[in-house]
Every structure is written in structure tokens, then in C-alpha cells.
Amino acid sequence: MNNFFDIDCNLTHEDLRKDVPKLLAAAQNVGVTAMLVPGTTLETSREAIQLGRLYPQQVFPTAGVHPFHAVTLPSEEELESLRELSTQVFAVGECGLDYSDGFPSPATQQTWFESQLRIACAVQKPLFLHERGAFTDFMEIITKVRSEVSVFPNVVVHCFTGNQMELQAYIRSGFYIGITGYICKKHGASVCELLKQVPKERLMIETDAPYMGFKHCRRNESDYRAKKQYPNVPSALPFVAETVAVMLEMSVAQVAQLTLHNARRFLML
């Protein structure tokens, strides 16, 4: 059986947290032997850490504040709590910028983002990043912080759905790229094509469960129903790998081995 590493499964999300044992068992049954479980608030970061303690072979927690939750400027107490949590995890994040409708102000997001970049540099943990509709500011803040430190951590831009210009900028910066089941959808065709430009040593795969569902994504679950695409589940990762394999003219086994190796290198395991 292939061994897969899902670099983003939101097990602390309200639509998954009640079924964690079942979800992990179903994932294990199809070879998803490890997954990064991101914190998106201080509270869910603590939950992710606890899951990592309960399932140390399968769950690798992160700590961070997602841009959706960057509602007010960070207090020193919040940043100190995040610094402490960051010493207990494998990466800092999920953090970044998202200028979609309904998100907090760019200024508040930017303050949280820069603060978390600096925390990651201080504790020397990889960065698990989110960017949507904010590419220019995203890169400017990273470039600023990067210029001020002697060693900048590994970076993955997860759930890549951007364009060629953005992808090439990430590649030039040495970032890892996370690919989701978005490529299994009809409107993901452009990202499918861009996938061919990602250096193989920078490619990782993810479900982003419960998000980024696609047709038949729940096929490996006991309660499978063909039309149900939400919530997406970690056992869907082999289907993402199958699409990657077709696009890159590789076997699924090769994709599994490659992306597992890349995930472990990214996390410095």
C-alpha cells in the first residue's frame, strides 16, 4: 500500500472534530498515514496539539491564526501565547492574507501575518501559509521579514489556486506548493496545467478537508453517498494523487513517495 502525507486536514473544524477516530481510521485504511492538522486560532491550535498527543504517529499539529480570524490587532498576550504554542508544533500557521469578501481588514490581517512570520523565524519552525487575492502584499511582507533575518524557515503556500505569475514567484522564492482536490474539478483545469511547472521537489498534496471537496471525494468513507462533497475527508487524498499522477505522467506510487518525502523535508522530520 502507498503511504501518503496530507499536508492539510482541518480536524479541529466543527464538521470533522466529532468524527476524528473514524476519519483517521478510514484515512489509514487507504494509506494516508500522516497529516498536518493546522491551528487557525489559539484555541484550535491547542486542540491540534492535543490531537497530536493522542495520535502521535498520524497527526502533526501546527499553531497559528488564520486571516479569517485576524479580526482585531494582536495583543502582546496573544502573541506570547502563540510563541509558546509554536514551540510545541511542527509548523507555524495557518497564517497569511485573504482579501476575499467578509474577511477582516487588510491592515489587521497584515499585522497578524507579519507577527507570525517573525515568531516562526524566532522558533525556527516551517511556515504553513494561506494566500487568496492578496498576492502583492503577501510577497511584500514575506520579503520584508526575510531581509531582516539570517535564516528564513521553509514555506508552503497551501491550497494553490493562483495563476502562472504567482506560481513562478513562489517557485523563485523556494516555496513548497500544496495541491488540493481543486484539480479534480472542471474549473480546476488551469491549476492542473500549472501543476506541470511545479518542481517535483517542491510539490505536496493535501485534502484541505472539510473544504475543497469534489465528486466522489467521500468514496472511501463508510457512509459514502455519491453526490455528497462536503465535508471533504482525509481518505480522499489518494484521489488527488491519482490526478497528479496523470498530469505528471507518474504512477500513484511515485506521487505518494515523492510528496511524502517532500512533506517530511518541509517539516524537517
Q: What is the pLDDT of residue 227?
A: 58
**Cell representation of residue 146:** 526575510
All structural domains of the chain, each given as residue ranges with its CATH number in brackets, are 31-153 (3.20.20.140), 185-269 (no CATH)
Residue pair 232/210 in contact (Cβ under 8 Å)? The answer is yes
Beta bridge partners of 60: 36
Q: What is the pLDDT of residue 181?
A: 97
At residue 162, the pLDDT reads 97
The pTM score is: 0.97
d(CA 240, CA 144): 34
Task: Determine which helix (DSSP H) or strand (DSSP E) holds 35, and give its type and residue range.
Answer: strand 32-37
CA atoms within 13 A on the CB side of 24: 21
Cβ–Cβ under 8 Å, residues 113 and 95: yes
Q: Phi and psi (nearest 5°) for 212? A: 60, 35
- What is the distance between the alpha carbons of residues 98 and 69, in angstroms, rounded to a whole number? 11
pLDDT at 28: 98
The response to whether 158 counts as a known ligand-binding position is yes
Check residue 177 and give its pLDDT.
99
Confirm whether residue 187 is marked as ligand binding. no
* Distance separating alpha carbons of residues 70 and 80, to the nearest angstrom: 16
pLDDT along the chain (269 residues), means of 10: 98 97 97 99 99 98 99 98 99 99 98 99 99 99 98 98 98 99 95 97 99 94 72 97 98 99 98
The rounded distance, in Å, linking the Cα atoms of 186 and 47 is: 35
19 annotated ligand binder: no
Looking from the CA of 213 toward its CB, the CA atoms found within 13 Å total: 16
Kindly tell me the sign of the dihedral angle through the C-alpha atoms of 24, 50, 92, 13: positive
Listed residue (62, 85, 84, 55) closest to 10, CA to CA: 62
CA distances 72 to 64, 78, 94, 108, 179, Å, are 15, 11, 17, 6, 30
Tell the residue number behind the cell numbers 482585531, with chain if given: 72
Q: Does 242 carry a binding-site annotation?
A: no
User: CB 74: neighbour CB atoms within 10 A?
Assistant: 18
